[in-house]
Structure 1
Amino acid sequence: MISNIRLLSILILLHKFKLSQPCNLSRTQPFQYYLCLDVEATCEQGGGFDYKNEIIEFPVLLIESKTFDVPSNNPILSKFCIELTGIPQSTIDISPSFPEVLCKFQEFLHSHQLFYKESCSFLTDGPWDIRDFITKQCKMSKISRPRYFSLPWVDIRTLFAKFYNCRPRNIPNMLAHYGLNFEGHEHSGIDDTKNLAIIAKRLWEDGAVFKANRKLR
Structure 2
Amino acid sequence: MDLPRNLLNVVDIEATCWKGEPPPGAVSEIIEIGLTVVDLDRRERLAKHRILVRPRRSRVSEFCTELTGLTQEEVDTGAEFAEACRLLVDAHRSDSRPWASWGDYDRKQFERQCRATGTRYPFGRRHANVKLRFTEARGLRRRPGMAEALAIAGLPLEGRHHSGADDAWNIAALVLDLAERGDWPE
Common topology (TM > 0.5): yes
Give 1:191 shift. Answer: 0.9
| Secondary structure of 2:49's aligned partner | strand
Structure 2 vs 1, CA of residues 174 and 137 (structure 1 numbering), >3 Å: closer, same or farther? same
- Answering whether residue 122 of structure 2 is matched by residue 123 of structure 1, we say no
Identity %: 23
Structure 2 residue matching 1:79: 3-state secondary structure: strand
Q: Is residue 81 of structure 1 aligned with residue 81 of structure 2? A: no
Structure 1 SS opposite 2:51: strand
Q: Structure 1: how far apart are the matches of 2:181 and 2:86?
A: 37
Q: Distance in 1 between matches of 2:86 and 2:41?
A: 29
Structure 2 counterpart of 1:41? 15
CA distance in 2, matches of 1:161, 1:41: 25
Describe how 1:1-217 pairs up with structure 2 within 5 A.
Answer: 32-47=6-21, 52-71=27-46, 76-81=47-52, 84-85=70-71, 87=73, 92=76, 95-110=78-93, 116=96, 120-131=97-108, 133-146=109-122, 148-149=123-124, 151-166=125-140, 167-210=142-185
Structure 1: which 5+ runs fail to align? 1-30, 212-217
Q: Report the 3-state secondary structure (helix = DSSP H, G, I; strand = E; otherwise coil) of the residue aligned with 2:45.
A: coil
Q: When you count helix as a share of all residues, which structure comes out higher?
A: 2
CA displacement 1:153-202 (0-9 Å, x = unmatched) = 11111001111111211111111112333221111111101111111111
Amino acid at match of 1:78: H
Distance 2:35 2:49 in 1: 5
- Tell me, yes or no, if the aligned pair for 2:35 and 2:169 is still in contact at 8 Å: no
Normalised by the size of structure 2, how large is the TM-score?
0.75
What do residues 54-113 of structure 1 show as CA deviations (whole Å, max 9, x unaligned)?
A: 100011111111122134xxxx3332035843838xx94x75311111122221135xxx
Cα distance change of structure 1 residues 95 and 191 upon mapping to structure 2, 3 Å threshold: closer
Q: RCO greater where, 1 or 2, for CA within 8 Å and sep 6 or more?
A: 1
If each structure's strand is expressed as a fraction of its own residues, which one has the higher value? Answer: 2
CA distance in 1, matches of 2:161, 2:21: 20
Q: Which amino acid is the alignment partner of residue 34 of structure 2?
A: P
Q: What TM-score, normalized to structure 1?
A: 0.66
Gaps of 5+ in 2: 54-68
Deviations 1:10-41 (A, max 9, x none): xxxxxxxxxxxxxxxxxxxxx92111100100
Q: Give the secondary-structure state (helix, strand or coil) at the position aligned to 1:184.
A: coil
CA distance in 2, matches of 1:95, 1:175: 30
RMSD: 2.8
Q: Following the alignment from structure 1 to structure 2, what is the Cα–Cα distance between the partners of residues 78 and 84? A: 16
Aligned length: 164
